[in-house]
């Protein structure tokens, strides 16, 4: 197994692709966004610190993220990093404790990002992800998996989405050149239907 990074703007479909890759290829899924939301839900000191950054669409400080990820990585299993690293400092920190073999960049235009995030809903109970347009629940407002109520993520409000996109362009887009320079970046267009995007990612990993 290899260590893979999924890179791309907010709403590009990283979580959607990751959950299928984990099911089909058995990666250990390390999603810093999910880990932070768990800490927020539990009300831990880390969660309290992270919440303000997340609600504003800013990045949580690099040292906090690196400590969190380091605790989760298991050297015996291939890891799928989703939403991490997000800065060059995080990428350098990651290299100090494990290797990155392939980076898949999901490319999506800003307008489509805004469309996808404004129609995304998540289950408040189990975290399952839906989309009112492309992946609606069977019963409106209810999770197919656990029956929980579907909600809009706090940071999917339009003004926060705009900020998250700016932060991505400023802090995370430089990772494209960083990994291109190491010869491990593969680009995938992310605007097709989920199954098509998944196939393209699986192909890029071959
Ligand atoms: P995080 O949760 O990682 O947010 P993100 O990277 O902005 O990514 P998203 O979860 O919004 O989108 P996604 O690409 O996973 O898309 P999804 O599959 O859901 O981070 C949240 C916050 O935590 C950050 O802003 C920051 O504050 C903090 N944080 C996290 N990691 C950090 C780090 N490393 N450093 C510092 N701070 C950090 O899809 C989106 C929608 O589109 C869904 O509704 C889905 O159903 C739909 N969809 C998916 N694929 C398709 C498709 N092919 N066609 C049509 N619809 C689709």
153 is catalytic: yes
Quick one: average pLDDT of 79-102?
Answer: 96
Pocket test for ligand 1, best of 6, 11, 53, 169 (most atoms within 8 A of CB): 11
Gap from CA of 123 to ligand 1 centroid (Å): 15
- pLDDT value at position 73? 86
The mean pLDDT value of the chain amounts to 95
The tokens for 167 are 């932060």
Ligand 1 pocket residue status of 86, Cβ below 6 Å: yes
42 is catalytic: no
Contact by Cβ (8 Å): 15, 31: yes
Ligand 1 atom closest to residue 131's alpha carbon, by position in its atom list: 44
Quick one: average pLDDT of 181-193?
Answer: 97
CB neighbour burial string for 171-201, b if at least 16 within 10 angstroms, e if fewer: bbeebbebbeeeebbbbbebeeeeeebbebb
The pTM of this model reads 0.95
Cα–Cα distance for residue pair 50/61, rounded to 1 Å = 9
182 is catalytic: no
pLDDT (tens digit per residue) in 2-39 = 899 999 999 999 999 999 999 998 899 999 999 999 99
- pLDDT value at position 1? 65
Instruction: Look at residue 206 and tell me whether its pLDDT is greater than 90.
Output: no
Quick one: average pLDDT of 127-152?
Answer: 96
Ligand 1 pocket residue status of 32, Cβ below 6 Å: yes
Instruction: Look at residue 74 and tell me whether its pLDDT is greater than 90.
Output: no
Instruction: Look at residue 75 and tell me whether its pLDDT is greater than 80.
Output: no
pLDDT (tens digit per residue) in 92-130 = 999 999 999 999 999 999 999 999 999 999 999 999 999
Instruction: Look at residue 173 and tell me whether its pLDDT is greater than 90.
Output: yes
Contact by Cβ (8 Å): 99, 199: no
């Amino acid at each position: 197994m290899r260590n893979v990074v999924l890179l791309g703007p907010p709403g590009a479909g990283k979580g959607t692709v990751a959950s299928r890759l984990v099911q089909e290829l058995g990666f250990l899924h390390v999603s810093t966004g999910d880990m932070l939301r768990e800490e927020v839900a539990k009300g831990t000191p880390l969660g309290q610190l992270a919440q303000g950054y997340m609600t504003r669409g800013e990045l949580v400080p690099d040292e906090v993220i690196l400590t969190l990820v380091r605790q989760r990585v298991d050297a015996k299993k291939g890891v799928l990093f989703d939403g991490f690293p997000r800065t060059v400092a995080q990428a350098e920190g990651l290299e100090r404790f494990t290797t990155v073999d392939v980076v898949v960049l999901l490319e999506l235009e800003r307008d489509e990002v805004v469309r996808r995030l404004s129609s995304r809903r998540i289950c408040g109970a189990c975290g399952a992800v839906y989309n009112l347009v492309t992946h609606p629940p069977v019963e409106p407002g209810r999770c197919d998996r656990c029956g929980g109520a579907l909600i809009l993520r706090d940071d999917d409000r339009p003004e926060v989405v705009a900020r998250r996109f700016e932060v991505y362009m400023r802090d995370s887009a430089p990772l494209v050149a960083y990994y291109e320079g190491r010869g491990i970046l593969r680009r995938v267009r992310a605007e097709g239907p989920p199954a098509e995007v998944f196939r393209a990612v699986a192909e890029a990993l071959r």
